[in-house]
Chains A and B, each alone.
Chain A
Amino acid sequence: MAEFDAVPIIKSALAALPRPARRLFLRQSLSLGGLALLSGCTVPDEDAAERALSVVSRFNDRVQAWLFDPNRLAPTYPESMITRPFPFNAYYPLARAPVVDAESFRLEVTGLVSDRHSWSLRELGGLPQESQVTRHICVEGWSAIGKWGGVRFSTFLKRIGADLTAKYVGFKCADNYYTSIDMPTALHPQTLLTLTYAGATLPRAYGFPLKLRMPTKLGYKNPKYITALYVTNTYPGGYWEDQGYNWFGGS
């Protein structure tokens, strides 16, 4: 795990930067490195470069939505191939991970849904459960295989009377993380609202009480510590996505 330690430190340092400083960070990068070595100059208009990169990233969202096959399943693995221990990954150390009280927890459901009542863990546990052993791929490049169990998300969305023609499902988390996904991925058969890891209650390290697991998307698209979700047609963005990570983030 030591090799991953440096990255959360950088991430938390970045997270602590206000937005203009982050822009400056990308800006500095434009004038450093290989491009400057070759040309002997800096990128003339950094803001224009950043805007252009953002336009290409939105284009890459559309290409990925087009490539996404709602019926194509991510590979599954035997339990013997599960990565042990499965890495904890966040932009803060485990000691600062949120502690959520199981008894008082209620999942808030809002937006384009007909049933807006909040769900207790007991109620969610009463819905049909299934499990999967799939590969989690991090945007950093590493991957790890784990076993998650819970409610098929499409089942849950139908249960709450969600508008399945809406564009996005957004998530808010107990650690102030937030992200959002496209509806076709939300309805993918391997998209699970997970309550368990390796057959036991989802541990705090992996997102207790609720994590959305999608083997068709990169790790940062799989929110942990979910406290609220909403269905919307207004682009909700995401914690990393608003800083430059690609929004679709599919694999």
Chain B
Amino acid sequence: MSPLDPVLQPAWLRVWHWLNALAVLILVTSGWKIYDASPVFAFRIPSSVAFGGWLGGALLWHFAAMWLLVANGVVYLVMNVVTGRFRRRFWPLSPLALWRDFSGAIRGRLGHEDLASYNAVQKAAYLFVIADSILLVLSGLVLWKSVQFPLLRELLGGYDQARVVHFAAMAALVVFFLVHVVMVALVPRSLPLIIRGR
């Protein structure tokens, strides 16, 4: 980790990452509180991890952090396209490479020596979480303003179904987060990368 090492993650991306982590943390935990006001499924989220104090507090946090998530999402997509990072980082991604890296990963044979580029599983995971976040925003829009977005509402199967979609997309995001954190624990060198860039 000498200062001469190349910067692998640009400053804008590092700032973006932590702002996004904050937005996601607030949105997910306040969302659990909102869920508990009228659970869609036959279980409740333990109140010790649900954020916001009461429904009104959780809604205030949720509908404030949503702007941070949306602004972050726009910045991320625009910056990735403008700087060519998308092409460099995510292209190419073939099903064959994904299968090869995935089967290697589950047998513990996928190397992480080169942190300058993503392996196929990483590419797929990040692309998945981008799509999942977009689904979260769209299904959230239906829950927030179901009358004002009729096309979106009908595409998601109506108001009640949009709650299920929003919850499922949240669950997928949480699974991504858990795998993401486990991978940081397994490859500790990746943590300074997203703080100092090298």
Residues of A within 8 A of B (CB): 3-4, 7, 10, 14, 25-30, 32-35, 37-38, 52-54, 56-57, 60, 64, 67-69, 72-75, 135, 137-143, 215-216, 240, 243-246, 250-251
Contacts and interface: CB of A to CB of B under 8 A. Distances in A.
A243 B56 contact: yes
A57 B42 CA distance: 31
Contact of B148 (A3, A4, A54, A68): A68
B53 A25 contact: yes
Contacts of A35: 25-26, 29, 51
B163 interface: yes
B38 interface: yes
Pick the 8 closest A-B CB pairs, nearest first.
A29-B53, A33-B51, A34-B29, A244-B56, A140-B37, A140-B38, A56-B64, A141-B38
Given A141-B163, A215-B147, A33 B52 contact: yes
A38 B160 CA distance: 32
Nearest to A141: B38
Contact of A251 (B25, B34, B60, B144): B144
Nearest to A60: B63
Contacts of B59: 139, 244-246
A244 B38 contact: no
Contacts of B153: 75
Contacts of A67: 145, 148
Contacts of A64: 145
Given A7-B37, A56-B67, A140-B37, A25 B150 contact: no
Interface of B: 25-26, 28-29, 34-35, 37-40, 48-61, 63-64, 67, 143-148, 150, 153, 159-160, 163
B38 A57 contact: no
B41 to A, nearest CB: 11
Contact of B147 (A26, A74, A142, A246): A74
A244 B30 CA distance: 14
Given A14-B54, A33-B49, A142-B38, A72 B26 contact: no
A251 B145 contact: yes
B170 to A, nearest CB: 13
A217 to B, nearest CB: 9
Given A26-B54, A32-B53, A3 B150 contact: no
Contacts of A141: 34-35, 37-38, 40, 143, 163
25 contacts: A14-B54, A26-B54, A26-B56, A29-B51, A32-B51, A33-B51, A34-B25, A35-B29, A52-B64, A60-B63, A64-B145, A67-B148, A72-B148, A73-B147, A74-B147, A75-B153, A135-B159, A139-B37, A139-B59, A140-B55, A141-B40, A215-B147, A244-B60, A251-B146, A251-B148
Contacts, number: 111
A33 B50 contact: yes
A54 B163 CA distance: 25
Kindly name the residue among B28, B55, B60 whose own CB sees the greatest number of chain A CB atoms within 10 A.
Answer: B60
Nearest to B51: A33
Contacts of A4: 38
Contacts of A250: 145, 147-148
Contacts of A140: 37-38, 55
A142 to B, nearest CB: 4
B34 A137 contact: no
Contacts of B56: 26, 240, 243-245
A59 B159 CA distance: 24
Nearest to B56: A244
A33 B60 contact: no
Given A35-B29, A243-B56, 18 more contacts: A25-B57, A26-B56, A32-B48, A32-B51, A34-B26, A34-B51, A54-B60, A56-B64, A67-B148, A72-B147, A75-B150, A137-B146, A139-B59, A244-B57, A244-B59, A251-B144, A251-B146, A251-B148
Kindly name the residue among B39, B57, B59, B67 whose own CB sees the greatest number of chain A CB atoms within 10 A.
Answer: B57
A7 B147 contact: no
A80 B34 CA distance: 30
